[in-house]
Structure 1
Amino acid sequence: MASAAAGSRKSAAPEQEPSAKKRRYALESVDKYEQLDVIGEGTFGVVIKARDRRTGNNVALKKFHGVPDFDAVRIEAACQHACRGHPSIAEVKDVVADAKTGDIFLVMELLGNSLRDEIPYARPEHMVRTMMRQLVGAANKMHASHVIHRDIKPENILISGFGMLKLCDFGSATFVNPPGKPYDECRIGTLPYTSPEQLAGKHCYGPAVDMWALGCIMGELLTGAPLFGGDVTEEELHADLSKNLGDIIDELRFEVLPELSPAAGEFFSGLLAFDPEKRMTVAEALNHRWFAEDAKKAEFAGL
């Protein structure tokens, strides 16, 4: 009788499971959008320019390669949606599906080129300060929303028609764990922008990984080339940073970038502190004198 009861319980589960899945995975049709041109492609899939048939507005559809992991798509959309409303974060509008193929699409605002397309030359300090203020603002919104991006790099920063920078691609993003709770992944993201603690294989980290990546981007904007990476392994890069980070930053500040202001040098060094506990937080960055001095100049000029 016990076996019969167990068999009865097992047979009841499949009758409930399909309806539960249907509620969870029910998505509107991608047919709401007229697909126009492929405008980008990466390891995740492709980005397609499309037109919303209801409004006539153009949007971007992020289509994932292969059989999509709906949980991963859901987390990506949830992290990006949690940061909605910030002018320097790309807006995710919807998640839709193709009923025939099973493809899942993120619907996002349509933007221009990535910062990678525009970066191969050194920029003056005042221009870098304007760009970094936008990126630090985006990080502030993310961290206040308990989200860490984990893959901030020039390819994931798009430029709007008005020249504004917009952080996008939250495919590696996650909600912040409580202190001491490890993440499943440690070395996630792109090598030249990966923090020392992640390179060391630590699974307990936090928003400081995004601040490191912003420091790497600041250096790249100032010099026109990536600061780290190249033809090295993760272990080799970590060893190099462990031994030589101070010398690398000093060489950049005093030999490559001799005209960099003291405030900018402080800001740069603060973002690239090897120890995440000593690394500049987003709140410290927003209140740093590098930004404050610029605001005072604008106020004095009546801007």
Structure 2
Amino acid sequence: MSTAIRKRPAEGQEPRVHGGKKPRYAFGSISDYKKLEVLGEGTYGEVFKARDRRTGKKVAVKWVRGNGAGGHGPPDIRVITREAGCLAACRGHESIIEILDVATDAKTGDVFLVMELVADGRTLRESLWRPVSEKGTRVMMEQLLDAARKIHGAGVIHRDFKPENVMVGFFGGLKVGDFGSAMRAKPAGVPYEECCVGTLIYTSPEQLEGNRYYGQAVDMWALGCIMAEMLTGGTLFVAETEEELLAETRSLLRGSWIWSSWRSFRKPGVRS
């Protein structure tokens, strides 16, 4: 199975044939994958474990909800190409989920992203039910920061870093996934269409203030929030609205914010 993200030809352009078999732009067929079990679902659609009928390899398949009845049918192609393109741009990094193919259902028009399956299948959220040691936090944050370096170096902004979007494999290896909110980073001075995307409590101050001229630094803010969770076992912020979160964030930046989880955290040699 080819790992290339295939493109459609320009209007009036003849399809390019790869290896004399099929056009390079043609998507794969979901019939090549046998569905095994559902791994998760949400407003975006569904993620399930599947087996590639041709190779026997197990993969993770993300069904992207479409615009038809029951969520079936072709979704917004811009959303699909954006997510697949961002994943493809970040291919080859050990701490980022690998995209393998984009497949379609010829009968319903449904579109699927085929990705590598993380063996253990747990999310980082499931590992943060209690504080992580300083050493463990350092090991995990090194992986996440290295993944962010790859993502940003590829000209991509993730915009939804959170524990639920990080998979934990055997021996503690982390994999950043869910690029549904990701997009190509815009040049300085060019605004984004929306301010707040992703999950509220990981949203940066500039986004909360309605600034659409943010940059890749919003990912670093979210990673800082994740690091705080690792060290304390609780979320940095507890707000339920943008207004509440902005107030908590401003208090933190002024040095006057003490969130409940921090009361039990003491780092040797550092005054709390």
Is 1:238 the equivalent of 2:256? Answer: no
Shift, 1:130, TM fit: 0.3
Residue 143 (structure 1) aligns with: 152
Is 1:126 the equivalent of 2:144? Answer: no
Matched-pair contact (CA < 8 Å) for 2:48–2:61: yes
For residues 42 and 260 of structure 1, the distance between their equivalents in structure 2, rounded to whole angstroms, comes to 41
Letter of the 2:179 counterpart: F
Matched-pair contact (CA < 8 Å) for 2:161–2:202: yes
Deviation digits for residues 41-77 of structure 1 (CA, Å, limit 9, x no counterpart): 1221111100011111000000012331111111001
Query: 1:26-41 residue pairs with structure 2 within 5 A?
Result: 26-41=26-41
SS at match of 1:135: helix
Greater fraction strand: 2
Matched-pair contact (CA < 8 Å) for 2:104–2:112: yes
Taking only aligned residues, the RMSD between alpha carbons, in angstroms, comes to 2.5
C-alpha distance 251-36 of structure 1, shift in aligned 2 (>3 A): closer
Q: Gapped runs of 5+ residues in structure 1?
A: 1-15, 266-303
Greater fraction helix: 1
For residues 148 and 252 of structure 2, the distance between their equivalents in structure 1, rounded to whole angstroms, comes to 27
C-alpha distance 214-48 of structure 1, shift in aligned 2 (>3 A): same
TM-score by length of 1: 0.75
Is 1:157 the equivalent of 2:169? Answer: no
Letter of the 1:240 counterpart: E
Residue 60 (structure 2) aligns with: 60
Residue 72 (structure 2) aligns with: none
Q: Percent identity?
A: 53
Residue 199 (structure 2) aligns with: 190
C-alpha distance 260-173 of structure 1, shift in aligned 2 (>3 A): farther
C-alpha distance 260-174 of structure 1, shift in aligned 2 (>3 A): farther
Letter of the 2:223 counterpart: L
Residue 4 (structure 2) aligns with: none
Shift, 1:210, TM fit: 0.4
Shift, 1:83, TM fit: 0.7
Residue 110 (structure 2) aligns with: 103
Residue 225 (structure 1) aligns with: 234
Matched-pair contact (CA < 8 Å) for 2:59–2:117: yes
Shift, 1:78, TM fit: 0.6
Query: 1:79-94 residue pairs with structure 2 within 5 A?
Result: 79-94=86-101
Deviation digits for residues 179-236 of structure 1 (CA, Å, limit 9, x no counterpart): 0000001100100100010111110011110000000000001111111134x31022
Shift, 1:82, TM fit: 0.6
Shift, 1:251, TM fit: 8.7
Shift, 1:97, TM fit: 0.5
Matched-pair contact (CA < 8 Å) for 1:191–1:229: no
Residue 117 (structure 1) aligns with: 126
Shift, 1:39, TM fit: 1.1
For residues 251 and 88 of structure 2, the distance between their equivalents in structure 1, rounded to whole angstroms, comes to 40
For residues 77 and 248 of structure 1, the distance between their equivalents in structure 2, rounded to whole angstroms, comes to 39
SS at match of 1:247: coil
Highest Rg: 1 or 2?
1
Letter of the 2:202 counterpart: Y
Q: Gapped runs of 5+ residues in structure 2?
A: 1-10, 16-22, 68-74
For residues 149 and 140 of structure 1, the distance between their equivalents in structure 2, rounded to whole angstroms, comes to 11
Query: 1:247-286 residue pairs with structure 2 within 5 A?
Result: 247-248=256-257, 255-260=263-268
C-alpha distance 180-36 of structure 1, shift in aligned 2 (>3 A): same
- Which stretch shifts more, 153-162 or 176-185? 153-162
Matched-pair contact (CA < 8 Å) for 1:200–1:235: no
For residues 228 and 59 of structure 2, the distance between their equivalents in structure 1, rounded to whole angstroms, comes to 32
For residues 124 and 30 of structure 1, the distance between their equivalents in structure 2, rounded to whole angstroms, comes to 43
Deviation digits for residues 88-127 of structure 1 (CA, Å, limit 9, x no counterpart): 1010111100111111100000111111122111111011
Letter of the 1:243 counterpart: S
For residues 53 and 143 of structure 1, the distance between their equivalents in structure 2, rounded to whole angstroms, comes to 35
Letter of the 1:182 counterpart: P
TM-score by length of 2: 0.83
Letter of the 1:101 counterpart: T
C-alpha distance 251-64 of structure 1, shift in aligned 2 (>3 A): closer
C-alpha distance 72-250 of structure 1, shift in aligned 2 (>3 A): closer
Matched-pair contact (CA < 8 Å) for 1:183–1:203: yes
Q: Which runs of 4+ in 1 moved over 6 A?
A: 249-253
